[in-house]
Amino acid sequence: MNNDARQSIAWGIIGCGNVTELKSGPAFNKVPNSSLVAVMRRDSEKVKDYAERHGVPKCYTDASALINDPAVNAIYIATPPKYHEAYTIEALRAGKPVYVEKPMSVNTASCLRMQAVAEETGVKLCVAHYRRALPMFNRIKQLLEEGVIGKIRTVNLTMLQPDQSSTIAHTGTNWRVDPEIAGAGLFFDLAPHQLDLMIYFFSKAMETHGLSANQAGFYKAEDVVTGIMRLENNILFNGQWCFTVAEGMEEDMVEINGSAGKISFPVFGYEVTIQTGNEKKVLTFEPPAHIQQPMITKVVRYFLGKGDNPCSAADAILSMTVMDSFVK
């Protein structure tokens, strides 16, 4: 069936872990013309529990069985990144449009293979860079386009977090810090949101350079990354990520400096500060109950042929390429 011929989207989730409990899962039943009809997880007890708690009619322990269920006409992939490519390609070849979690995969080459199959099959593919759909970031984009702070000169991004050894760093089992499963550790977990916003605001990177290291040795993945890039219109970006700073030294801040002022905001917070001359204005935003719901609304409209792709494979590959260049 042609994607645009669907009257409603009946979702199947592959990988119903923590990210789907509140951020995304419940939203599939709250968006118009959308319902969650099946979930898959390898652990039979956990998937049954999830289905019962969320009122999902079907549950599977085999991804292929869910993908080929005729009652499912779209797939949300929320597994660790290592498995995104295989499940995405299988779903696309089965004619099921795909909404895949960020990062799109573990490296650019893998993302390009996913994009190629989407183009070959003509089946729709969207990536969950969901901050693009949040009112806060769309307001920032509007302010930039209106020239509120003049011509953009520089962007400085800082993400500092203390060692989370009690929960992930020393366990040796958390997939987010396993390069084979997640790519470049916590950098690949958080930076996709941040760098995708830079692409969303300023278009593609024209030049990139980066350095990375594993300083603390708590796990195999990088725990410190620094990167610079030249964006379109000669905007210069500088980013710094460190995941082993001292307790109390956390920082999450983006500063966009223009010829007439500055806009500052956290990527994982909800307050925007605008400074122009001697004036300072603070805008505060309320997060949605299910943070992916605005994006899922756009994805459903896209899958039904009623809107544009809110984040295409090509969009996601732009930020993935930057991330790869920072940790090469």
- Quick: pLDDT tens for 98-122: 999 999 999 999 999 999 999 999 9
Q: What is the pLDDT of residue 179?
A: 84
Here the tokens at position 66 are 């869910």
How many alpha carbons lie under 13 Å from residue 246 in its C-beta half-sphere? 2
Q: Is residue 9 one of the residues assigned to a domain?
A: yes
Q: Do residues 228 and 236 touch, judged by C-beta distance below 8 A? A: yes
Its pTM stands at 0.93
Answer yes or no: do 70 and 111 share one domain. Answer: yes
Answer yes or no: do 62 and 174 share one domain. Answer: no
Answer yes or no: do 125 and 94 share one domain. Answer: yes
Q: What is the pLDDT of residue 113?
A: 98
Q: Do residues 61 and 47 touch, judged by C-beta distance below 8 A? A: yes
Here the tokens at position 256 are 């966009």
Here the tokens at position 226 are 């620094």
Q: What's the mean pLDDT in 221-250?
A: 96
**pLDDT, greater one: 155 or 174:** 155
Burial of 63-85, coded b for 16+ CB within 10 Å and e otherwise, reads beebbebeebbbbbbbbbbbbbb
Domain extent, residue 280, equals 135-287
Is residue 4 predicted with pLDDT exceeding 60? no
Is residue 6 predicted with pLDDT exceeding 80? no
Answer yes or no: do 270 and 306 share one domain. Answer: no
Q: Is residue 323 one of the residues assigned to a domain?
A: no
Q: Is residue 321 one of the residues assigned to a domain?
A: no
Answer yes or no: do 90 and 185 share one domain. Answer: no
**pLDDT, greater one: 200 or 169:** 200
Is residue 165 predicted with pLDDT exceeding 90? no
Is residue 48 predicted with pLDDT exceeding 90? yes
Q: Is residue 173 one of the residues assigned to a domain?
A: yes
Q: Do residues 254 and 160 touch, judged by C-beta distance below 8 A? A: no
Percent of the chain with pLDDT over 70: 96
Find the DSSP H helices in 33-134. 44-54, 63-67, 84-93, 108-121
Percent of the chain with pLDDT over 90: 89
Answer yes or no: do 80 and 224 share one domain. Answer: no
Band (5; pLDDT cuts 50, 70, 90): low
Band (167; pLDDT cuts 50, 70, 90): low
Q: Is residue 45 one of the residues assigned to a domain?
A: yes
